[in-house]
Amino acid sequence: MRQTDQYGRFGTPPPVPGRPSAFPGSLAVLLAALFTVVTWQVAVGGPLARADERWSRAALAGRLPEGVAELLADLGSVAVAVPVLVLVAAYVAWRARGAGVPRWWRPSVAALVPMAAVPLLVVPLKELIARSGPPVMGPGTGFYPSGHTATATVAYGAATLLLLPWLGGAYARRELTIACCVLNLGVGLGLVRRGYHWPLDVVGSWCLGGLLVLGLWWFLGSTGSTGSTGRGGRGGGPALSDASDSGPGSP
Protein backbone atom coordinates (compact mmCIF):
# COMPACT_ATOMS: atom_id res chain seq x y z
CA MET A 1 0.00 0.00 0.00
CA ARG A 2 1.37 3.39 -0.96
CA GLN A 3 2.06 5.91 1.79
CA THR A 4 0.33 9.25 1.68
CA ASP A 5 1.91 12.66 1.83
CA GLN A 6 3.28 13.96 5.07
CA TYR A 7 2.01 17.27 6.31
CA GLY A 8 4.31 20.06 5.31
CA ARG A 9 5.75 18.30 2.25
CA PHE A 10 5.66 20.12 -1.08
CA GLY A 11 5.28 17.06 -3.27
CA THR A 12 8.61 15.27 -2.78
CA PRO A 13 8.60 11.83 -1.13
CA PRO A 14 10.84 11.86 1.95
CA PRO A 15 13.90 9.59 1.84
CA VAL A 16 13.09 8.35 5.31
CA PRO A 17 9.40 8.11 6.32
CA GLY A 18 8.55 10.24 9.31
CA ARG A 19 11.81 12.20 9.27
CA PRO A 20 11.50 15.89 8.37
CA SER A 21 13.94 17.26 5.80
CA ALA A 22 16.81 19.59 6.67
CA PHE A 23 15.15 22.52 4.90
CA PRO A 24 12.96 23.69 7.80
CA GLY A 25 15.96 23.69 10.14
CA SER A 26 18.15 25.69 7.77
CA LEU A 27 15.39 28.21 7.13
CA ALA A 28 14.70 28.47 10.85
CA VAL A 29 18.34 29.40 11.52
CA LEU A 30 18.17 32.08 8.82
CA LEU A 31 14.90 33.53 10.15
CA ALA A 32 16.17 33.49 13.74
CA ALA A 33 19.36 35.30 12.73
CA LEU A 34 17.44 37.92 10.75
CA PHE A 35 14.96 38.42 13.59
CA THR A 36 17.83 38.90 16.04
CA VAL A 37 19.54 41.49 13.85
CA VAL A 38 16.33 43.42 13.13
CA THR A 39 15.25 43.42 16.78
CA TRP A 40 18.69 44.59 17.89
CA GLN A 41 18.72 47.42 15.33
CA VAL A 42 15.24 48.57 16.30
CA ALA A 43 16.04 48.42 20.02
CA VAL A 44 19.23 50.49 19.76
CA GLY A 45 18.10 52.77 16.95
CA GLY A 46 20.85 51.53 14.63
CA PRO A 47 21.45 52.25 10.95
CA LEU A 48 18.72 49.86 9.83
CA ALA A 49 16.18 51.58 12.07
CA ARG A 50 17.14 54.98 10.66
CA ALA A 51 16.91 53.67 7.11
CA ASP A 52 13.53 52.21 8.07
CA GLU A 53 12.15 55.74 8.36
CA ARG A 54 13.22 56.54 4.80
CA TRP A 55 11.67 53.33 3.52
CA SER A 56 8.45 54.22 5.29
CA ARG A 57 8.28 57.64 3.66
CA ALA A 58 8.82 56.03 0.27
CA ALA A 59 6.02 53.54 0.91
CA LEU A 60 3.63 56.28 2.00
CA ALA A 61 4.26 58.03 -1.30
CA GLY A 62 3.71 54.82 -3.27
CA ARG A 63 1.09 54.26 -5.94
CA LEU A 64 -0.87 51.56 -4.13
CA PRO A 65 -4.39 53.01 -3.58
CA GLU A 66 -5.15 53.63 0.06
CA GLY A 67 -8.38 51.64 -0.13
CA VAL A 68 -6.54 48.58 -1.41
CA ALA A 69 -3.83 49.03 1.22
CA GLU A 70 -6.47 49.24 3.95
CA LEU A 71 -8.10 46.03 2.73
CA LEU A 72 -4.77 44.22 2.66
CA ALA A 73 -3.92 45.43 6.16
CA ASP A 74 -7.30 44.23 7.45
CA LEU A 75 -6.50 40.70 6.25
CA GLY A 76 -4.00 40.52 9.09
CA SER A 77 -6.53 41.30 11.80
CA VAL A 78 -7.50 38.67 14.35
CA ALA A 79 -11.13 39.00 13.25
CA VAL A 80 -10.23 37.83 9.72
CA ALA A 81 -7.14 35.62 9.89
CA VAL A 82 -7.97 33.51 12.94
CA PRO A 83 -11.44 32.43 11.72
CA VAL A 84 -9.84 31.37 8.43
CA LEU A 85 -7.44 29.09 10.30
CA VAL A 86 -10.21 27.70 12.52
CA LEU A 87 -12.42 26.93 9.51
CA VAL A 88 -9.55 25.22 7.67
CA ALA A 89 -8.63 23.24 10.79
CA ALA A 90 -12.23 22.09 11.19
CA TYR A 91 -12.47 21.16 7.50
CA VAL A 92 -9.24 19.15 7.54
CA ALA A 93 -10.26 17.35 10.75
CA TRP A 94 -13.61 16.47 9.16
CA ARG A 95 -11.93 15.18 6.00
CA ALA A 96 -9.36 13.18 7.97
CA ARG A 97 -11.98 11.64 10.26
CA GLY A 98 -14.11 10.66 7.29
CA ALA A 99 -11.08 9.07 5.61
CA GLY A 100 -10.30 7.01 8.71
CA VAL A 101 -6.99 8.74 9.38
CA PRO A 102 -5.45 7.70 12.73
CA ARG A 103 -5.35 10.60 15.20
CA TRP A 104 -7.32 12.65 12.69
CA TRP A 105 -7.59 15.52 15.13
CA ARG A 106 -3.87 16.00 15.78
CA PRO A 107 -2.83 18.16 12.79
CA SER A 108 -5.75 20.54 13.28
CA VAL A 109 -5.15 20.90 17.00
CA ALA A 110 -1.41 21.33 16.44
CA ALA A 111 -2.07 24.14 13.95
CA LEU A 112 -3.88 26.14 16.63
CA VAL A 113 -0.91 26.05 19.03
CA PRO A 114 1.36 28.50 17.15
CA MET A 115 -1.65 30.78 16.67
CA ALA A 116 -2.18 30.87 20.43
CA ALA A 117 1.54 31.56 20.88
CA VAL A 118 1.45 34.75 18.80
CA PRO A 119 0.12 37.11 21.50
CA LEU A 120 2.28 35.40 24.13
CA LEU A 121 5.36 36.37 22.13
CA VAL A 122 4.33 39.61 20.44
CA VAL A 123 2.86 41.47 23.42
CA PRO A 124 5.94 41.14 25.69
CA LEU A 125 8.20 42.15 22.80
CA LYS A 126 6.09 45.22 22.12
CA GLU A 127 6.38 46.26 25.75
CA LEU A 128 10.10 45.49 25.91
CA ILE A 129 11.12 47.28 22.70
CA ALA A 130 8.57 50.11 23.13
CA ARG A 131 9.07 51.42 19.63
CA SER A 132 7.14 54.48 18.59
CA GLY A 133 5.03 54.32 15.45
CA PRO A 134 5.07 56.23 12.17
CA PRO A 135 4.02 59.90 12.39
CA VAL A 136 0.47 59.23 11.19
CA MET A 137 -0.12 57.03 14.25
CA GLY A 138 0.57 59.83 16.71
CA PRO A 139 2.18 59.35 20.13
CA GLY A 140 2.48 55.94 21.67
CA THR A 141 4.74 52.90 21.63
CA GLY A 142 4.46 49.18 21.08
CA PHE A 143 4.74 49.00 17.30
CA TYR A 144 7.49 46.39 17.07
CA PRO A 145 6.82 43.67 16.12
CA SER A 146 3.61 44.00 14.10
CA GLY A 147 0.78 41.97 15.59
CA HIS A 148 -1.23 42.01 12.36
CA THR A 149 1.72 40.67 10.38
CA ALA A 150 2.48 37.91 12.89
CA THR A 151 -1.18 36.92 13.02
CA ALA A 152 -1.44 36.71 9.23
CA THR A 153 1.84 34.82 8.86
CA VAL A 154 0.88 32.13 11.35
CA ALA A 155 -2.81 31.85 10.49
CA TYR A 156 -2.42 31.62 6.72
CA GLY A 157 0.82 29.65 6.96
CA ALA A 158 -0.68 27.04 9.29
CA ALA A 159 -3.83 26.82 7.16
CA THR A 160 -1.67 26.19 4.11
CA LEU A 161 0.25 23.39 5.85
CA LEU A 162 -3.02 21.73 6.82
CA LEU A 163 -4.40 21.86 3.28
CA LEU A 164 -1.29 20.82 1.33
CA PRO A 165 -1.64 17.03 1.79
CA TRP A 166 -5.27 17.15 0.65
CA LEU A 167 -4.48 18.71 -2.71
CA GLY A 168 -4.21 16.26 -5.58
CA GLY A 169 -1.04 17.31 -7.36
CA ALA A 170 2.29 19.07 -6.98
CA TYR A 171 1.06 22.01 -9.07
CA ALA A 172 -1.91 22.70 -6.78
CA ARG A 173 0.28 22.50 -3.70
CA ARG A 174 2.82 24.87 -5.19
CA GLU A 175 0.15 27.37 -6.21
CA LEU A 176 -1.38 27.34 -2.72
CA THR A 177 2.04 27.97 -1.19
CA ILE A 178 2.68 30.86 -3.55
CA ALA A 179 -0.76 32.31 -2.78
CA CYS A 180 -0.01 32.16 0.94
CA CYS A 181 3.28 34.02 0.46
CA VAL A 182 1.67 36.66 -1.77
CA LEU A 183 -1.15 37.16 0.72
CA ASN A 184 1.27 37.74 3.58
CA LEU A 185 3.36 40.05 1.45
CA GLY A 186 0.20 42.03 0.71
CA VAL A 187 -0.68 42.33 4.39
CA GLY A 188 2.75 43.74 5.20
CA LEU A 189 2.65 46.12 2.25
CA GLY A 190 -0.79 47.36 3.26
CA LEU A 191 0.30 48.04 6.83
CA VAL A 192 3.34 50.03 5.71
CA ARG A 193 1.49 51.87 2.93
CA ARG A 194 -1.20 53.04 5.36
CA GLY A 195 1.44 54.14 7.85
CA TYR A 196 0.32 51.73 10.56
CA HIS A 197 3.80 50.21 10.92
CA TRP A 198 7.41 50.77 9.98
CA PRO A 199 8.78 48.28 7.41
CA LEU A 200 11.03 46.62 10.00
CA ASP A 201 8.00 46.01 12.23
CA VAL A 202 6.65 43.87 9.42
CA VAL A 203 9.95 42.14 8.63
CA GLY A 204 10.47 41.22 12.27
CA SER A 205 7.01 39.68 12.47
CA TRP A 206 7.53 37.75 9.24
CA CYS A 207 10.60 36.20 10.86
CA LEU A 208 8.86 35.47 14.15
CA GLY A 209 5.73 34.10 12.51
CA GLY A 210 7.81 32.10 10.06
CA LEU A 211 9.61 30.41 12.94
CA LEU A 212 6.28 29.37 14.45
CA VAL A 213 5.04 28.00 11.12
CA LEU A 214 8.29 26.09 10.63
CA GLY A 215 7.87 24.62 14.09
CA LEU A 216 4.46 23.36 13.06
CA TRP A 217 5.91 21.99 9.81
CA TRP A 218 8.58 20.10 11.76
CA PHE A 219 6.06 18.72 14.26
CA LEU A 220 3.67 17.46 11.61
CA GLY A 221 6.50 15.80 9.71
CA SER A 222 8.31 14.30 12.70
CA THR A 223 5.15 12.81 14.20
CA GLY A 224 4.18 11.18 10.92
CA SER A 225 0.86 13.02 10.70
CA THR A 226 -0.10 11.37 7.45
CA GLY A 227 -3.39 10.51 5.89
CA SER A 228 -4.84 7.10 5.24
CA THR A 229 -4.87 5.69 1.75
CA GLY A 230 -5.76 6.75 -1.71
CA ARG A 231 -5.21 9.82 -3.82
CA GLY A 232 -7.01 12.99 -2.86
CA GLY A 233 -10.42 13.08 -4.51
CA ARG A 234 -10.60 9.28 -4.93
CA GLY A 235 -10.03 7.57 -1.62
CA GLY A 236 -10.87 10.60 0.47
CA GLY A 237 -7.43 10.71 2.03
CA PRO A 238 -4.59 13.18 1.50
CA ALA A 239 -3.06 13.29 -1.94
CA LEU A 240 -0.16 11.02 -2.71
CA SER A 241 3.15 12.44 -3.80
CA ASP A 242 4.81 10.51 -6.59
CA ALA A 243 6.11 10.77 -10.09
CA SER A 244 2.60 10.63 -11.52
CA ASP A 245 1.74 14.09 -10.17
CA SER A 246 1.03 16.27 -13.14
CA GLY A 247 0.51 19.91 -13.85
CA PRO A 248 2.41 22.87 -15.19
CA GLY A 249 5.95 22.85 -13.89
CA SER A 250 5.61 19.56 -12.01
CA PRO A 251 8.97 18.01 -11.10
CA torsion 15→176→89→217, rounded to 10°? 30
pLDDT digit string, tens, across residues 78-133: 999 999 999 999 999 999 999 999 999 999 999 999 999 999 999 999 999 999 99
Q: How many CA atoms lie within 13 A of 241 on its CB side?
A: 25
Q: Is the pLDDT of residue 42 over 70?
A: yes
pLDDT digit string, tens, across residues 45-87: 999 998 998 898 888 888 889 999 999 999 999 999 999 999 9
Q: Alpha-carbon distance 132 to 108, whole Å?
A: 37
pLDDT digit string, tens, across residues 204-231: 999 999 999 999 999 998 876 644 333 4
Q: Alpha-carbon distance 167 to 183, whole Å?
A: 19
CA torsion 200→202→205→210, rounded to 10°? -110
pLDDT, residue 26, reads: 86
In DSSP notation, 46-113 reads -HHHHHHHHHHHHHHTSSS-HHHHHHHHHTTSHHHHHHHHHHHHHHHHHHHHHTT-TTTTHHHHHHHH
pLDDT, residue 224, reads: 65
Alpha-carbon distances of 152 from 19, 64, 95, 156, rounded to whole Å: 28, 20, 24, 6
pLDDT, residue 246, reads: 39
How much is the pTM? 0.83
Q: What is the average pLDDT value for the chain, to the nearest integer?
A: 84
